[in-house]
Structures are given as structure tokens and as C-alpha cells.
Structure 1
Amino acid sequence: IETNKNVTHDLKKIEQRVEQVTQELDVFCRIVDKQEKLIHKLFKAARHRGQQYKNLLESTAKLTSSCFTSFLESRNYTGEAIFDHQERTLSLEITPRGDEVHKDTRSLSGGERSFSTVCFMLALWEVVEMPLRCLDEFDVFMDHVTRRTAMNLVLEVAREKKKQYIFLTPQDLSFLKITPDMRILRMPQPKRTLVQINNEYYSC
């Protein structure tokens, strides 16, 4: 009889333990199921964002290249900006006025390269929003005609965008038609003096 009581007692304990473990397993399974659903949602959101990023990348590249081509045409150049997202490279192909063969920027003259750089910078500004834009010595190596074209192009874009632009240049700007929306600040010529060091004179 005593043995039967012990067996019955042990059986009840086992049943209670089984019930407890079953409840714990049920809770654990619900947690796992919830986490699996969350992971699925995260993967789905990541794929969606990845596709959105890819679309944005492609549309931005196309718009930049289109604007670059349009700005080049103001000087009767042709060309395009080629983005290779796989290789993470960018190449600019330009055909200067009168030429028939596309050139990369390394084979352009100094003035052609400077003008092409200005056009590409303006194209980038078309797709990037910023309240303040600055260019430093963008007209270096340009001849007078190219400098005039580049400056007029930059000012035209600046007026259309209603942004604040700051241009720094050591070049002559007497050809510019000053308008109320422009302000030109001219720095005075530096004062140079001769300094004697070890019986030799240096300009500073």
C-alpha cells in the first residue's frame, strides 16, 4: 500500500511537471513565432529599402548625366557622365566644339577641363539640396570667351535656384553686368615687402 501511495505521488508530480513544461514550451513557441514574424518583416523592409535605394541611385545618376549634358551644350560641347555603380567609378566623356571624338578629362586642355568641371558641379547641384553653394577659382585656365560663358551659365543657374552662391576668383570680372542680386567684394592687393635673411632678400 505504501508503495502504491509513493507511485501515485510520483505520478502526480510528473504530471504537474509535464504540465509546467508544456506551458513553458507553449510560451517559448509563441515567442519564437513572434520573433520569426518580426525577422520576416525586417527582411521584407530591408529588401524594399534596398530597391528604393537602387532606384534613387539610378535616377540620380541619370538626372546628373542629363543635366551635365545640358550644361555642356551651352558651349556647344557634347558629353555625358557615366556612372558605374558596380565598379563604383565615374567617368566624364566630353566632345569639345569642333571635335568628333569623345575625350576623357585627362586629354582636355586646361580651359576645357575647367569648364567641364563647372558643368559637372552644376549638374550635381541640381540633384543635391543645400542652401549655400561655394566655388573657388572655378575659372582657372579658361580663356576670356570660355570664362564669360561659364560665369553667365553659373549666374543663370544661381538665379533660377534662388540659393545663395559664393564665387571666389582672382580673374577680371569687368565684363559682368552687375544686378541688384549680386554683390562683389574685391580684396585689396597684398602689400609686399623685402626681407633680408643672411644677406639675401625675399619678397613676402
Structure 2
Amino acid sequence: QENRKLLLAELEGRKKVWKEAIARLLETVNPDYQSILASTDATGFIRLEEGGGIEEAGIELFVGFRGTAPTTLDPFTQSGGERSVALMAFILSLQSRIVSPMRAMDEFDIHMDPKNREAMFKMILSHIRGRQGSQYLVITPSILTVFDKTAHVITVQAVHGATEVSELRAK
């Protein structure tokens, strides 16, 4: 019985440490998430959903577009493009807290309209600019319309059945 009490106390202590760490992370990620959303005329925030324990806990993303109040991100309220924008905003804001020389995004823009696609490409370039020594691999079926003269960009495209490689070197 005594061992059980000690174990439960240890688990509660670890749960408290975990909860505090997640809360601190969300405090730093939330402003970036909101800033990225603002670039697409959206608002939102991130919240920890505690549930009954760590197993039931999760992160909830809230987002509102075109002046609507933020609601929980779900497949019934937002369009596919809106969900993609919210998830990209979350991923980019989270990536800024992770030290890594290489980052990758695969077809993140597939459901986005041209305006949001351009805004997200600009956000990616902005994040690249702020992280010396980091590289991004962006896979997209879209034509790149946004460039940054300080970024080294290599494109590989299938054009009429043939592969074309082009390069834009940083200045």
C-alpha cells in the first residue's frame, strides 16, 4: 500500500511537470500562431485541453476567418484550405521552437486558394530568413510565385512529361 502511494505521488509530480512544460510552450507558440494567422486575415489561439489525465489531454486549435470569432478547428466548420492555413500556422509557430538544420513541408498548400498559398509561402520564407543554417524542403505541385533574393531556391518540376530543374541563388 505504501509503495502504491509513493508511485501515485510520483506520477502526480510528473504530470504537474508535464503540464507546466506544455503551458510554457503554448505561451511562446501562441503569439507566433496568432501573428501568422493575422497575415491571412484570420484570428485564433491554441489551448491545452486537459481531459482527465495525460492520455486524454490534447492541443486544441481555434481559428476564425473573415471576421468570425475563433472556433475549434474541425472538418465541419472550416474549409479544407482554412484548415490547411491553421495547421501551417501551428506547424510554423511550433517549428520556431525546435532546433533543427532541416525542415520539410509536403504539399501543405494543396487545398489553399492563391491568396493563402502566397501568404504561407511568404511565412515560410520569413521563417527561413530568421534561422541561419536551416534548410527547408518544400514539396508542392504549385508554381512558386513568391521569391526572396536572400534564399537559395532549387525547383524541380515535371513539365510536359520531362523533369526541369532551375535554380535561384541567394545574393
Tell me the TM-score normalized by structure 2. Answer: 0.73
CA distance in 2, matches of 1:190, 1:80: 43
Deviations, residues 37-60 of structure 1 (Å, cap 9, x unaligned): xxxxxxxx9998776544322201
- Residue number in structure 1 paired with 2:90: 120
The answer to whether the aligner puts 1:73 opposite 2:43 as a matched pair is: no
The answer to whether the aligner puts 1:147 opposite 2:112 as a matched pair is: no
CA distance in 2, matches of 1:180, 1:57: 34
- Residue number in structure 2 paired with 1:55: 20
Deviations, residues 110-144 of structure 1 (Å, cap 9, x unaligned): 11111111101001112222221000001111111
RMSD: 2.7
Identity %: 25
- Residue number in structure 2 paired with 1:165: 136
CA distance in 2, matches of 1:58, 1:130: 22
CA distance in 1, matches of 2:107, 2:18: 34
Deviations, residues 155-190 of structure 1 (Å, cap 9, x unaligned): 1111112211110000011x2235252222223347
8 Å Cα contact 2:96-2:127 kept in structure 1: no
Structure with bigger RCO (C-alpha 8 Å, 6+ apart)? 2
Matches within 5 A, 1:1-204: 52-86=17-51, 87-100=56-69, 102-106=71-75, 107-162=77-132, 163-173=134-144, 175-189=145-159, 191=161
Q: Greater helix percent: which structure? A: 1
- Residue number in structure 2 paired with 1:38: none
CA distance in 2, matches of 1:48, 1:90: 21
CA distance in 1, matches of 2:11, 2:47: 28
Aligned partner of 1:112: which letter? Answer: E
Aligned partner of 2:74: which letter? Answer: T
Instruction: Give secondary structure in 2 for the equivalent of 1:185.
Output: strand
**Structure 1: runs of 5 or more not aligned:** 1-44, 193-204
CA distance in 2, matches of 1:95, 1:188: 36
In the alignment of these two chains, the number of paired residues is 149
CA distance in 1, matches of 2:28, 2:79: 26
8 Å Cα contact 2:62-2:70 kept in structure 1: no
Distance 1:132 1:101, change over 3 A: closer
Instruction: Give secondary structure in 1 for the equivalent of 2:119.
Output: helix
Q: Greater strand percent: which structure? A: 2
CA distance in 1, matches of 2:70, 2:146: 33
8 Å Cα contact 1:93-1:105 kept in structure 2: no
